[in-house]
Structure 1
């Protein structure tokens, strides 16, 4: 490499900001989309960690109150028909149907057990939807970001070769900037995709565990009510 070419290459700024500013409009648009997707993913990740931690704390506190020996009717009167906590809402759904299943003479309407179970199943399904809200975004970002970044890279390389053809110069100072700008798009795509995939798997597993806890509680509660029905 001659000294003039080397000097020209050394004068180029290869910082991320400089590469972004020199990129074509299409590549810039791709980079902006990927950066936005990355920030969106991290906001969902942090929010889900807070939601899951609150759900675990609420479930532990309610489980302690449920097994404290306090009469279930009194516990239901304390939390009301529209409580705030997920475990409380599942319990309230079962208790509300339990009370509705009693006639004015105190006898139970036929099929009370199945209606109580269905009521709690519906409540669990709603809580599962709340827990999983936003995880689809992580899955989408994780699966599409590398391809969006690859599109930006292909387009950037195409523009680089066009510049080479126009200038009729294959010197490093002409080739390197365009290739570097193009590769940044793929790099940003991977930066957005890798955390999204990792935390999607982690949060999906946590959501399944919390939902399984709700289902276990509903089974235990249903067993208690079944004993009272048999009595």
Structure 2
């Protein structure tokens, strides 16, 4: 699918970022340890943020390095990350990723997309999260929030997160890539929710295609 009119995007993205930065504090520099970002993002798959936070905190309170997670008993890892859901699969995945980071990369998470994507269970969203939150490199991690909001506003017209990432990279100036995921995630959790978006307090309603269509009805 193609991006929406680029002139509209150029005119509105400055406004969108400015308005979201007025109400949200960027969290991309809070915990920027690449390994923690990598494991946390793996645990975040198919679960709520609060469950990811709880599972990550428990895991890192007991095992905090690639080596210790790699050699930890799988049953113990399962107990620690249980709140993240699908914990049998995720426990084995984080152990395998940790083993590879320990043995093949000398406990250092790779800082490029190709090598990150070679890790088991690591897709583009996870890899881009590591680049943005772990290394502060320009990338656009596209999760459910970014995919939904980008299409809802009218920045893109895409069918899946991978398409959304590629189209956003074409139409969003690179200076906005780094904060975009963090701002859209917070926005999607509090205002631009999947069900029952809070149009009445939305700071960017005037440039939102979805809201403008509703107003016409």
TM over 0.5: no
Normalised TM-score (structure 2)? 0.27
Provide the TM-score with structure 1 as the length reference.
Answer: 0.26
